Chains A and B, each alone.
Chain A
Amino acid sequence: MTTDTQILIAFILYLVFFGWIGYRRGFVSEVWFFAITIVSWVLLQERGSIVVRLTNFAGKFVVLVRSGGLTGEGEDAFQALAEAPNVITDENQAGFLFLVWALVVLITFLVTSDPRIMKRSKSKAWGVAFGVLNGIVLAAILLPYLSRALQTAPEIQAQNAALGGLFALVSRLWELSAATLQTVWSWVVTMPPTGWLVFITLLLLLIAWPMRSGVVGKK
């Protein structure tokens, strides 16, 4: 079997998987997912600077609030505001925009998977078709990122054996996860009290929201 045939079979397997997801989720969910994935990707690539500016503006607003800008002492607040660095810099802009896009895609997937929001369509064939299309779109967007994970692995290990390639990929992803967790933890430890309050409140509301319609019955 030639390498081209193997690639073709691997790609077909990949698309069959996405087609099956499309079959399960239905046509309407897949169309919404397709549209939002594409539109958000294009918008963030073309107009991502708007999101970056908004985030930096929000960061400066937090600085303004923390330095007493809303309760007087305007000069100190404006001084702190002028000296506050941007949250999103040129170095981490690409990573930030990718993270925003990934969050949009994840939320879209979760929302469009909810049968209370998305009604099941009868057209299974169109669901499969759009599932396959979503597979192609995600492959086109994500493959460049995933291939970077394999670049640092020994070339022979990555190319010759499926198990070796998988091991290299998992190891690299594990290293990336550990490094990200460390960064998040160092950020969490220095989070201001208001940040904790907002985080705990939002987390509890997020958990409580789906249960709000459940009337407590008698025991």
Chain B
Amino acid sequence: MGPIEILFYTIVVIFAVIGLVRGAHRELGNSIIFMYMVALFGLASQQGWFRRAVEVASIFGSNPAQLDEATFILIVTIFTIVVVVTYQGVTFDFSAKRITGFFGVLAGLAVGALNGYLIAGTFWHYANVFGYPFNLLTGPLTATGQALLPFLPPAIFPNPVYWAVPATLLMILRIWR
């Protein structure tokens, strides 16, 4: 197992523990936002917005490697800001009603792990798409890493916009009391 997989699993585990502590009633609100973000990034990718940004930046004479780095930094910055904002201060909670007991523990762990997967998986996917800028990966990806790539959030569905389906259903459930 290579370092990038270990980092991925570590982030998922950390977020699962965060989910356990905060509770699924809070974590689901973050999940809705993260799923929409993955869908939005997928849409931006499909519509060629990233490529267009690269073309615009080409005017200033940047080489392709620098443009990949810039695009990756842009995606990571946007997603990181979203993650920080959703966890800091007044948060977008799904419900005020905490699930207690064994099911509550399992739910917190599961939703927290899903959030970790959405965050770490999206970063990894775009790092892979842009050829691991800033030497994020030196050497080839391991067999485990290769096996995991098709299961990362932007790649698991034929179209990342599919993530909007569970996010929208959760949003409806949040509004409909």
Q: Which residues of A contact B (CB under 8 A)?
A: 193, 196-197, 200-201, 203-205, 207-217, 219
Q: Say yes or no: B158 contacts A193, CB within 8 Å.
A: yes
Taking the closest CB of chain B, its distance from the CB of A193, in whole angstroms, is 5
Q: Say yes or no: A215 contacts B177, CB within 8 Å.
A: yes
Cβ-based interface call for B81 (8 A): no
Closest A residue to B175 using CB positions: A212
Instruction: Report B-chain residues with C-beta under 8 Å of the C-beta of A207.
Output: 24, 28, 99, 107, 110-111
Whether A215 contacts B96 in the complex (CB less than 8 A), given A207-B111, A208-B170, comes out as: yes
Instruction: Report B-chain residues with C-beta under 8 Å of the C-beta of A200.
Output: 114, 166
- Chain B interface secondary structure, helix, strand, loop or mixed? helix
Cβ-based interface call for B60 (8 A): no
Query: Which of B1-9, B61-69, B71-79, B87-95 lies at the binding interface?
Result: B87-95
Q: Say yes or no: A211 contacts B169, CB within 8 Å.
A: no
Instruction: Report A-chain residues with C-beta under 8 Å of the C-beta of B166.
Output: 197, 200-201, 204-205
In the bound assembly, the distance between CA atoms of A21 and B93 in angstroms comes to: 37
Q: Say yes or no: A208 contacts B162, CB within 8 Å.
A: no
Whether A196 contacts B111 in the complex (CB less than 8 A), given A209-B173, A211-B99, A216-B96, comes out as: no
In the bound assembly, the distance between CA atoms of A212 and B177 in angstroms comes to: 6
A and B contact pairs by CB, cutoff 8 A, 8 listed: A197-B166, A200-B166, A204-B111, A204-B114, A207-B107, A208-B28, A212-B176, A213-B95
In the bound assembly, the distance between CA atoms of A161 and B158 in angstroms comes to: 56
Q: Which residues of B contact A (CB under 8 A)?
A: 24-25, 28, 31, 90, 93-99, 103, 107, 110-111, 114, 156-158, 162, 165-166, 169-170, 173-174, 176-177
Instruction: Report A-chain residues with C-beta under 8 Å of the C-beta of B24.
Output: 207-208, 211
Q: Say yes or no: B170 contacts A205, CB within 8 Å.
A: yes
Whether A214 contacts B96 in the complex (CB less than 8 A), given A193-B158, A207-B107, comes out as: yes
Q: Kindly name the residue among A196, A201, A208, A215 whose own CB sees the greatest number of chain B CB atoms within 10 A.
A: A208
In the bound assembly, the distance between CA atoms of A203 and B162 in angstroms comes to: 15
Interchain residue pairs A-B with the least CB separation, the first 10: A214-B97, A214-B95, A211-B95, A201-B166, A214-B96, A207-B107, A193-B157, A217-B96, A211-B97, A219-B90
Q: Say yes or no: B28 contacts A204, CB within 8 Å.
A: yes
Instruction: Report A-chain residues with C-beta under 8 Å of the C-beta of B25.
Output: 211, 214
Instruction: Report A-chain residues with C-beta under 8 Å of the C-beta of B165.
Output: 197, 201
Q: Which residue in B93, B111, B162, B177 is a CB contact (below 8 Å) of A197?
A: B162
Instruction: Report A-chain residues with C-beta under 8 Å of the C-beta of B99.
Output: 207, 210-211
Q: Which residue in B103, B157, B173 is a CB contact (below 8 Å) of A212?
A: B173
Q: Kindly name the residue among A200, A210, A211 whose own CB sees the greatest number of chain B CB atoms within 10 A.
A: A211
Taking the closest CB of chain A, its distance from the CB of B86, in whole angstroms, is 14
